[in-house]
Structures are given as C-alpha cells and as structure tokens.
Structure 1
Amino acid sequence: MLVPILVTLYILIALVMVISLLLNGVRPSKTLAWLLAIFTIPVAGVLLYILFGRNRRKSKMFSLKNQFGTLNKLENVTCSPDISVNKQKITSLIHKTSSCPVTCHNDLELLKDGKNTFESIFEALEEAKEHIHLQYYIFEDGILADKLLEVFERKIAENVTVRLLYDGIGSYSLSKKYLKKLKHIGVETAQFLPFKFGRFLTALNYRNHRKIIVIDNKIGFTGGINISDKYLKGDPALGKWHDTHLKIEGEAVDFLNRIFVTDWFLASGNKVDISAFKMHGSARKGTSLQIVPSGPDDDFDVMEQVYFSIINSAEKYLYIVNPYIIPNHAILQALMTAALSGVDVRILMSSSTDIKLVDWCVRAYFESYLKAGIKIYLYDDGFLHSKVMLCDDEIASIGTANLDNRSLQQNYEAQAFVYDKDLCLQMKSDFLRDCEKSIVLGDYKKYKERPWIKKLIEGFAKLLSPLL
C-alpha cells in the first residue's frame, strides 16, 4: 500500500517540476536535459533539479535589489570614458543591466599577490574614522584573521563601526571561537545563506563569491583575494597562490558600498542608512571604471553578457587569466570566433587547479581552443587565482567572476571594468611576462594525439560542467 502512494507522490512532484520547467526554462536544451533526468533517474533526478536546476532569475527567491533599493541609477556621476565607439557599447550594456554607470573621478592601485594586497589593506584600515565593511567568500582562521581582529578592536575603541559579512559555505571552516571573539569586541557579523538543513536544498548552490572592503565610503578593495593564509604561505599541493586585486579611491567606492549594504540586508535583515554615506571623488578626472554586481536573481545574465560583449569587441588582442574557464556554448563560440577572425587570443591559467574534477573539465576545452588558434599558457610556479580579462589596451576586467557556469549563472559576483590605457599596458606587460614563464600549448595536431583515456576522463567531466 505504501509503495503505490510513494510512486503517486513522486509522479505528482515530478509533474509540478515539469510545469515549472516549461514555464520558467531558459534554454530548450537545458530544459530537455532536466526533463530526462527527472523521469529517468528516480528520486535523484528530482533532488538534482531542486539543487541545481531551478531558475532563480524567474523566481527572484534571493532577490537583493528588490529587497532593498540600493542600486539605483545615479546619473549625476555618469561620464564617458576615453575608449573607442565599439567599446562604448559595453559601458551602456552594463549601465542598462546593472544600473551602474561609468565613474571617472577615481584613483586606482593595482595590487598583485597577497603580501602587497594585505599590506595595502591593513594600512587603509588604520585610516578608518567612521566604518569598515568587509565581505568575503572565504574567511579563514589564521595569521590574517588574527591581525584583522587586532585592528578591529582598536578601531571599535575609536567608535568605528565594523561589519563583517561572510559566505556560509565558503567560510564554513571559520571557527566559533573566532566568531565569539568578533562579537565580544563589538564586530557586527552576518552569514550569507548559512549551511542549515532546512535551507540546504534551496541555498546550497547559490553562494556569495564577492570580496569587498569599504572604508568610510572613501577607500575600497575588490578582486580575487580572500582572507586566507594560503596567499602568504601557499599550500602543500599547489604552492604559492597568485592573485590580482584593486585598491580604489573615488566615486566607484560608493557602488562597492551599495553592494555590501544590499547583501548585508539580505543576510542580516538589518538596513544600513546609505544616505549617511558621502560619495568621495578625486578633484581631477581620474580613472574611469564601472563596478558590476551580478547574481542569479538579475533580470539578465549580466556577467555573461559583459564578458561576451568584450570578447566580440576585441580587434587586436584578448588576454585572459582565469583558473576556472569552463565556457558555455556562447562564450566558447565567441572565443573561437575572435581567434579565427585574427584576434590574438591567449589564455593563461595554472597547470593544475585545486579541484581535480574541475581541472579535467577545464582541459576538456583545450582541443577546441587550439583548433581555433587560441594560445594556451600553463603557469606552473604556484596557483593562478586571478580573474582578469584585457582587451585592446582599452578595457581591463578585475574581480571575482570566473568563466564558468557557477560564476555566470549561480554566484553573486562583483567585477571592476576599468577603461584606462596605462593600467591596461601595465597589466598586459605582467601578462606577457607570466606567459614567458609558462608552458605553451599551441600545436593542435600534437595535442589531439593525447591518450584516449585522458579524452574519456575529460569527456565525462565535461558532462558535469553545468554543475561545477
């Protein structure tokens, strides 16, 4: 008697999911794949769909902007960067999809690797007079965390408000002992979508991958570096971690702060009065940039559209540094089309990643790249964690977003798109220097002859790419 009831219940649940897919599905191929999974893999198909398949863009279940209207257009700071007409379209795209205009009154400092980045961060934290806002995907116990605790205690004694937002999965190892210390000295903390059984199925796959520090709405930091000692000491498996970060002073910091405040409201339920924050801009017209937030509840695939547009706009060169390049069909075709059109397309990544399955999936696309004339450079002096894209000495992208389904569709990300020739040239020089130290893959015919067992493993991993 129990079995027929359970079967009937399962069929009803599956039918509800089918209706949801038909009403809210994005791509026909993806919809069909989930329909097949639901009906051919009993129970597991339904659970996988709940975890990975639902369209957050339709449901707005985790909507940030709609909960707290902090990312409104600020037309008074909009300006036109000194870039070609072809690239101007990208700035318009960003403004329309994320409501973030180009800001021009900024001073930037490019920070490479952990030592330089954290020296700059701690120096800036000591200058705080009003508030310190920190938001990290990974915040781990260790030397850096202890040093931050000391700074927080001193600044709170000076009546500086300190708020720390950390991701429930990325910072899962953060100890209760450390959190108690933070609370004891007066740090306000919030956890983004905690790892709880009641929310496991709805929240596990949607993480806040942003790395942001804002000090007095005047100084900001963003990029790929987390609060982890591996940026200082490395780790036994991969060696030293290399990454890229930005220090920003000027109008763009206000947009970083708005992202933080909005995320803070979602995680803690507490509103922060943004009207009390003054927008600071340098007296002269400085570096032009846009701060671009993206997430699974945006109306459009913001980060995917911007990356896609930059790739298609490339006329001379397109250089990419990224540890997790698992392109969807659109991004893959854009990269191959650019290379086949004569654009110098180069990809720089580590010779291995921190997750073996991801490493296989990343390599599954190498053959397609090489066939189209894309050059691949494998860096083996540590782990490259940077998320950088350079285009035609006009656009430099630095931030948290990888070129994979997780960053483009599922995670909350933040990326800075900088329109400055000097910065582009500086980063281009660094890129080419790292390429000289790397292993070059450029022979398509030779690579195609790799052992069939590697092709089989890569092919299997490629099937899982939508989940990685």
Structure 2
Amino acid sequence: MLTESMLIPILIALYVLIAAIMVVSLLLNGVRPSKTLAWLLAIFTIPVGGVLLYILFGRNRRKSKMFTLKNEFSIRDEVQYPQCTPPISGNKEKIIKLIHNAAQCPISCKNEVELLKDGRNTFESIFEALEKAEEHIHLQYYIFEDGVLADKLLEIFERKIAQNVTVRLLYDGIGSYSLSKKYLKRLHSIGVQTAQFLPFRFGRFLSALNYRNHRKIIVIDNKIGFTGGINISDKYLKGDPSLGKWHDTHLKVEGEAVDFLNRTFVIDWFLASGEQVDISSFQLHPKINGEHFLQIVASGPDDDFDVMEQVYFSIINSAEKYLYIVNPYIIPNHAILQGLSTAALSGVDVRLLMSDTTDIKLVDWCVRAYFDTYLKSGIKIYLYPDGFLHSKVMLCDDEIASIGTANLDNRSLQQNYEAQAFVYDTDLCAQMKADFLKDCDKSIALLDYKEHRERPMIKKILEGFAKLLSPLL
C-alpha cells in the first residue's frame, strides 16, 4: 500500500516526465521561437498550471492535427471552376493564387452577391431564401440561441421537411452551449438532423476547448448561400441591455461559390457527426449571369499553414491607396501589426473602425493596448458609439472586399475554424467604402498620438496587463 511519503515522489516523477514530453514536443513542433520559449518558461516556473495551460492553449495543431481531413474525408480538391481574370491590379493577383493554393479554393466568376447589413435585413433575406428550398437546407452557426429567430426557423424547417426537404443543423459545442434541450427535442421531433461540433465533454475538454467552429454558413439547394458575422441570436433584433444594438455585416451569394460553401459545411458535418454526405447527389449551381469574382477562405487549426493570417497579411501589404478595417477584436500579432504600421508609414490611408465598448472588458483593454503603435504610425482609429459593432470587414483600394467571420486576433487567425469571403468587385467596394466613411463620421475619432498618451495611468496599466494575455484572447 502506498504511503504519503511514497506517493509524493511518484507524483513529482510523473509530473517531471509529462513536462519533459511537452518540452520535446515544443522543440520538435514549435513554430515561433519566442512563443516556444514562453511556453518553456511557463512549464518550468508554474507548477502544474504551466502544463495545464500548455495543454489548453499551447499545442501546435498544424503538427498534431485534431482531424486529418486529407486521409479521412476531403472534397475541396475536386471542385473545378472555369478560368477567369478579375479586374484587380497586378500586385494583388498573388492573393488569388495564395487562396487557391493554401485554402484549395479557386476563384469563381459567375456569382451574384448582395451585401446585408444588420440583423433584420439579413434574416428577412435568409427566411425568404429558406422558403424556396426544394432539396436541402444546411445551417452552421457558432452561436445558435433559443428565441424569436430560433422559433421562426423551427416553423420554416417543419414546413420544408413536410415537403421532403432535408435539413441539417451544425452548431458549436461552446458557442451554442445555452441552446436548450427542449429546443433540440423539438428539432428532432420534426426531423431536423443536428450535430454538435466538439461538444463540451470532460473526456475531450482539455484537447478541444480552445478550438471552436466560428463559421456562420447557410446553403440552400447548393444554389443560395449566406456567410458573414451574424449568429442566430435575438440580440441582432432587440439589442443588448449593456451594449445596445448589435451591428454586423453578412453576404448573400448565388452562383459558383455556393458550391464551395456547401463543401465546407459537408466536411464540418462529417467531422462532427461522422456522416459522409454524398455531394454527387446535389445539383450543381445554376448558371448565374452575375460577374462577381469570389473566393472563400475556410481556415482552421488543422490547415498546413496559417491561411487566414497569410491572406490578411498579403492584403495589408498589397494596399496602395487605402486599407479600411471594421472589426471588434483587433488584437494583432507581430506580423499583422508590422504590416499595418508599414502600410500607414508608406502613405496608405489606414483606418480602423471598432466599437467604443465591447462585450468583454479584458478584451477591450487588450484591443486598446495597441492604440499607441497605431497612432504613432499614422493609423486612424474610429470608435463607433451606437451599440456594438461586430462586423469583420476589410476593404482595399476599391478592388478587394472581405466579409466573414474572422477577427484580427490570434484566436481567429490560428485556432478557430473560420469562413471569410473575398470579393473582387469595384462596385461592391465602392458601396462598402461609402458605408464605412459614413460610420466613421458618426464615430469618435482618435487621431492625436500625444493626446492619447495623456490618458490615466490606471488605463495604461490595465492595457499593459491585458496585452500580456493577447496570445490567449
């Protein structure tokens, strides 16, 4: 029988063994030397806690993949689109090639896109499209909450299932944790197929907690698709008691690119449910006469490269006239920060539009911790005061418009499963640019570096503390 005097050395030896294994893993799989060194220090200086933090946040998923898509079920490489040349300048053609090679998404030519702003307009368009479904409805959301919107969807699902339409709903295990069992039972009772992405279970808690599916995708009959920043939550209709009205941007797509959104859903559905959906049974998209050039980046921690970071970085560095960004969580890593600063110092009009307040105070401090560098570089900052601005938009030189789910933070760029649409169209860019400038006119402008430096010392300390945690936020 083990005594306490015998047990303590055994536990210490076991801890040392686990720590040694993690050190070897870091040395073999670590990508950034600075990050590797930080984790080594944490493991050796924070007993037990350092190991647990590394298990939760530190492992390199690109080396030890959670899912091996190419070996299990990959369908992205099968899609072929006709060759086409979008109307963009030569230095931006590399972005199209990057997305094609890194995200396996060739550029598609024949698309119609419609910009949707805020919840009411977006859901009116979604409900109208759902009513037209004849074969299948695929929905994928990070946050799916009980409420008016969920009940409306339930009504539509029931009608469409009665018409022999297949409905599949995929929701994230953490983002949709509040979704009630009662609502799920109602879905199942009418025939909706559901799957939960990385559910909150103790057995996979440590390995899966930090890797969430942040995508928002709807595909109807492989003909109409939606993606963007808006979740299924009544706060998009009623607002939030503390933050006010939620503002967001979504995109409706018809044409070739819908097929890729559907393929992204089908892969995620397989990962969550184990069911392989036969995509050969889906009718191909109709021939659309639209001329919107479009690519989708479906990125995640299992990709061989930091795809979303690479694409954002390339767009930032390709900017010649202006770069406008709308995002609630701009917490840049070193590469993105250098890119933004370099662009502004080179004479590019770089503007950041974000909320004056956010839903998480610690994140708000971290976002503001980078304001000094922005202002010193000549980057213009605008804080939107009317509610919470949740859009994830990037505009560049009247040539590229990006709308989707990915924030400019470590979580979106390296840890989450994201979906971002990149549209190459001057008219859409002009429309979004005009909207952006109107929102800037309504916002609080932070333009003076010296004035910003005079903020209270307590704010500087809080921001500095939060900045230390930026790799985890």
TM-score range, shorter chain: over 0.9
In 1: Cα distance, 2:117 partner to 2:72 partner: 35
User: What is the TM-score normalised by the length of structure 2?
Assistant: 0.98
Is the counterpart of residue 151 in structure 1 residue 156 in structure 2?
A: yes
Pairs within 5 Å for 1:311-390: 311-390=316-395
> Which secondary structure state, in structure 1, belongs to the residue aligned with residue 132 of structure 2?
coil
Is the counterpart of residue 43 in structure 1 residue 48 in structure 2?
A: yes
Contact 1:347 1:377 in 2 (8 A): yes
* Partner residue, 2:3: none
* Partner residue, 1:20: 25
**Cα deviations by residue, 1:26-77 (Å, 9 ceiling, x for unpaired):** 1000000000000000000000000000000011123445421111153443
In 1: Cα distance, 2:109 partner to 2:151 partner: 36
Contact 1:364 1:459 in 2 (8 A): yes
Is the counterpart of residue 222 in structure 1 residue 227 in structure 2?
A: yes
Pairs within 5 Å for 1:18-417: 18-72=23-77, 74-417=79-422
Q: CA deviation at 1:338?
A: 0.1
In 1: Cα distance, 2:356 partner to 2:228 partner: 22
Paired letter, 1:166: Y
Is the counterpart of residue 458 in structure 1 residue 460 in structure 2?
A: no
Gapped regions of structure 1 (runs ≥ 5)? none
Contact 1:65 1:262 in 2 (8 A): no
Q: CA deviation at 1:411?
A: 0.1
Contact 1:65 1:71 in 2 (8 A): no
> Which secondary structure state, in structure 2, belongs to the residue aligned with residue 249 of structure 1?
strand
> Which secondary structure state, in structure 2, belongs to the residue aligned with residue 359 of structure 1?
helix
Is the counterpart of residue 428 in structure 1 residue 433 in structure 2?
A: yes
**Cα deviations by residue, 1:336-373 (Å, 9 ceiling, x for unpaired):** 00000000000000001100000000000001000000
Paired letter, 2:367: V
> Which secondary structure state, in structure 2, belongs to the residue aligned with residue 77 of structure 1?
coil
Paired letter, 1:101: P
In 1: Cα distance, 2:288 partner to 2:210 partner: 43
Superposed CA RMSD: 0.9
Contact 1:344 1:374 in 2 (8 A): yes
**Cα deviations by residue, 1:295-348 (Å, 9 ceiling, x for unpaired):** 001011000000000000000000000000000000000000000000000000
Greater shift in the superposed pair: 73-82 or 199-208? 73-82
* Partner residue, 2:424: 419
Q: CA deviation at 1:282?
A: 3.5
In 2: Cα distance, 1:219 partner to 1:86 partner: 32
In 2: Cα distance, 1:299 partner to 1:278 partner: 31
> Which secondary structure state, in structure 2, belongs to the residue aligned with residue 293 of structure 1?
strand
Q: CA deviation at 1:100?
A: 0.1
In 2: Cα distance, 1:64 partner to 1:411 partner: 16
> Which secondary structure state, in structure 2, belongs to the residue aligned with residue 81 of structure 1?
coil
- Residues 281 and 391 of structure 1, relative CA distance in 2, 3 Å threshold: farther
Contact 2:137 2:221 in 1 (8 A): yes
In 2: Cα distance, 1:76 partner to 1:388 partner: 26
In 1: Cα distance, 2:51 partner to 2:61 partner: 17
> Which secondary structure state, in structure 2, belongs to the residue aligned with residue 19 of structure 1?
helix
For this pair of structures, how many residues does the alignment match? 468
> Which secondary structure state, in structure 1, belongs to the residue aligned with residue 251 of structure 2?
strand
In 2: Cα distance, 1:347 partner to 1:12 partner: 47
> Which secondary structure state, in structure 1, belongs to the residue aligned with residue 283 of structure 2?
coil
**Cα deviations by residue, 1:350-400 (Å, 9 ceiling, x for unpaired):** 001100000000000001000000000000101000000000000000000
Contact 1:34 1:49 in 2 (8 A): yes
In 1: Cα distance, 2:381 partner to 2:161 partner: 48
Paired letter, 1:37: A
Percent identical: 81
> Which secondary structure state, in structure 1, belongs to the residue aligned with residue 294 of structure 2?
strand
In 1: Cα distance, 2:103 partner to 2:359 partner: 31
In 2: Cα distance, 1:95 partner to 1:288 partner: 13
> Which secondary structure state, in structure 2, belongs to the residue aligned with residue 56 of structure 1?
coil
Gapped regions of structure 2 (runs ≥ 5)? 1-5
User: What is the TM-score normalised by the length of structure 1?
Assistant: 0.99
In 2: Cα distance, 1:51 partner to 1:285 partner: 45
Greater shift in the superposed pair: 239-248 or 271-280? 271-280
- Residues 258 and 106 of structure 1, relative CA distance in 2, 3 Å threshold: same
Contact 2:399 2:426 in 1 (8 A): yes
> Which secondary structure state, in structure 2, belongs to the residue aligned with residue 72 of structure 1?
helix
Paired letter, 1:125: L
Contact 1:73 1:101 in 2 (8 A): no
